[in-house]
A and B are shown apart, each in its own frame.
Chain A
Amino acid sequence: AQSVAQPEDQVNVAEGNPLTVKCTYSVSGNPYLFWYVQYPNRGLQFLLKYITGDNLVKGSYGFEAEFNKSQTSFHLKKPSALVSDSALYFCAVMDSGNTPLVFGKGTRLSVIA
């Protein structure tokens, strides 16, 4: 069965600094990887996904993620953090079979002005 690990419950970063939110995964087949963001009292918003092709994926709001097959990682990055990026971030994975999207526990990002 597939699984996702987000090793950090909380990430704090100063505004303007680069940010990284870590994610590692485990699947039996080829992974399809996703990042979602949840703002307070809101639903999950899709940020980006990796299906195949270029290992560096660009998404919404200036976020990007790098797929690393050897390290089974899909870390979320942004070159310059904004206070408005403060939210709960979820990494999720499904494999190429008929499996549901499985989420990590989430990482709370706090960007400090």
Chain B
Amino acid sequence: DSGVTQTPKHLITATGQRVTLRCSPRSGDLSVYWYQQSLDQGLQFLIHYYNGEERAKGNILERFSAQQFPDLHSELNLSSLELGDSALYFCASSVADRSSGNTIYFGEGSWLTVV
């Protein structure tokens, strides 16, 4: 158990809908990262927050947004869902802000299926 908690574990929804994925980082970790894992694209970095502030953006669609709350949990909002958004969404956390070699620990992921 990495200590990173993600909910829900599985989610099935229809095209055009909106979903929210939730993540609680490891105790003491201030950084939260979101990744998308799909068969064709592999593991893609979406976004990084540190202590409530956005730090870096990757290949995140405009239909997707995220935030990190004062209690450090994070939410990834996916809207106007398309079939191609079906993927495993990972949250990860680490202690540090900038790249310093600190280990990034991953949750078990949220499986999203868009039908």
Contact = CB atoms under 8 A, between A and B. Distances in A.
Interface of A: 32, 34, 36, 42-46, 49, 51-52, 90, 94-106
A99 B99 contact: yes
Contact of B103 (A49, A98, A104, A105): A49
B82 interface: no
Interface residues on B, range: 20 to 34
A102 B99 contact: no
Given A42-B108, A43-B109, A45-B2, A106 B42 contact: yes
Contacts of B109: 43
Contact of A95 (B42, B55, B99, B108): B99
Interface of B: 2, 4, 33, 35, 42-43, 45, 48, 55-56, 58, 90, 92, 97-101, 103-109
B108 A100 contact: no
28 contacts: A32-B101, A34-B103, A36-B106, A42-B108, A43-B4, A43-B90, A43-B107, A43-B109, A44-B90, A46-B103, A46-B105, A49-B101, A51-B101, A52-B101, A97-B99, A98-B55, A98-B97, A99-B99, A100-B48, A100-B58, A101-B45, A101-B104, A103-B35, A103-B42, A103-B43, A104-B42, A106-B42, A106-B43
**B48, B92, B103: residue with the most chain A Cβ atoms closer than 10 Å:** B103
